[in-house]
Amino acid sequence: MLPNVRRRDALILLLPALVLFAILTLYPLGRGLALSLFITDYGFEGARFVGLDNFVDLLSDRFFLGAVWNTVVFTVLATVSEVLLGLMLALLINRKFPGRRVVIPLLIMPFMLSTMVVTAIWRAWFHYDFGFLNNLLAAVALPPVEWLFDPDLAMLSLVLVDLWQTAPLTFLILLAGLQSIPPEIYEAARLDRATPWQIFRYVTLPLITPHLALAALLRSIDSFKIFDKVYALTGGGPGNATETLSMYVYRLGFRFFDIGFASAAAVVMIVVAGALAAIYVSRILRGGSHVA
């Protein structure tokens, strides 16, 4: 801290950011919260105050409950698979081998692509008649699969795309974790004649637990928001089999203009996301850094 900088200066320096936050987040949050207490199709003119009725109605709306379930399923499947694949890749790359410096940037590429580009590729790959995946199945004499239009499979297809795009992120976080383990610990374990599995189970795993937790937390916060892929791959279908909460709020608010009801659903999302964020924030405040 510089002691002799005036408070007034601090305020001036913060002002542009504060104004943007006021317009773009504080006011919208307040307005959204207020709108959730009304039945309305745009703003407050002609709106009818209904108190908490929207929230009560949400609990009996089977589309909302379906969206909650779909979001939970997606978040759990995506987070678990991404952390596992990231861990496998990180373990594979952790030791030295020729070409290591080349392969790391290559593996990160899917994460750098625009989500819409990723979605375009996979939408083509999932195509029933000419898609790469079904052509691959045909090449090994297996029957074609309705990747996006089979209600049981569509969610897994979404997870697959998300896994492909974001495993590089969990890989990077876990690689950083593995690299931070001092080599002497492994030498000591080897001197004690520990098997590779014992080393992994009792040395590596406990030491990278903080990184595993960070990767899982970041991925679940992010998966909880999922919108783009659902919008462009399945549109929430077939039926409502892949409609997540973001998609649900979008459909209600921007297609059916049921603004009060959509705002109530958004408030529920804020509460859940806020709880997840609180875990992350408390880790950061304890750790003093936002990396781990």
Partner 1 sequence: MSLESRQALFRAVLVFAVAAIFLTPIAWMVGTSFKPPIEFVGTGIQILPDAPTWEHYHALAENDVWRRVVNSIVVSLGATALALLAAFPAAYALARIGLPHHLDRVFLVFVLIVKLAPPIVLAIPLYHVLRVLGLLDTLAGLILVHQVYALPFAIWMLLGFVRDVPIAYEEAAIMDGAGLIRRLRSIVGPIMLPGLVSTAAFVMILSWNEFLYALLFIQTPSKFTLPTFIATMITEDETLWGQLMAIGLVASLPILVLVGVMQKGLTRSFAAGLK
Least distance to partner 1, CB of residue 65, Å: 18
The beta strands (E) that lie in the chain are given as 38-39, 48-49
For the purposes of burial, counting CB atoms within 10 Å of the CB of 34, is it exposed (0-12), middle (13-18) or buried (19 or more)?
A: middle
- Count, residues near partner 1 per rule CB under 8 A: 104
Which of these, 86, 91, 104, 97, lies nearest to 204 by C-alpha position? Answer: 91
Q: Taking contact as CB under 8 A, which single stretch among the options 54-62, 72-80, 149-157, 265-273 is the one that binds partner 1?
A: 265-273
Is residue 147 a contact point for partner 1 (CB under 8 A)?
Answer: no
Least distance to partner 1, CB of residue 72, Å: 14
DSSP, res 49: E
Q: Which of residues 32-51 bind partner 1 (CB under 8 A)?
A: 32, 35, 43
Q: Taking contact as CB under 8 A, which single stretch among the options 23-31, 62-70, 147-155, 185-193 is the one that binds partner 1?
A: 23-31
CA 244 to CA 71: how far, in whole Å?
A: 5
Least distance to partner 1, CB of residue 186, Å: 14
Is residue 275 a contact point for partner 1 (CB under 8 A)?
Answer: no
The token pair at 79 is 């987070």
Q: Which of residues 166-185 bind partner 1 (CB under 8 A)?
A: 169, 172-173, 176
Q: Which of residues 72-131 bind partner 1 (CB under 8 A)?
A: 89, 92-93, 95-100, 103, 105-107, 109-125, 127, 130
**Which residue type occupies 283?**
R
CA 218 to CA 52: how far, in whole Å?
A: 32
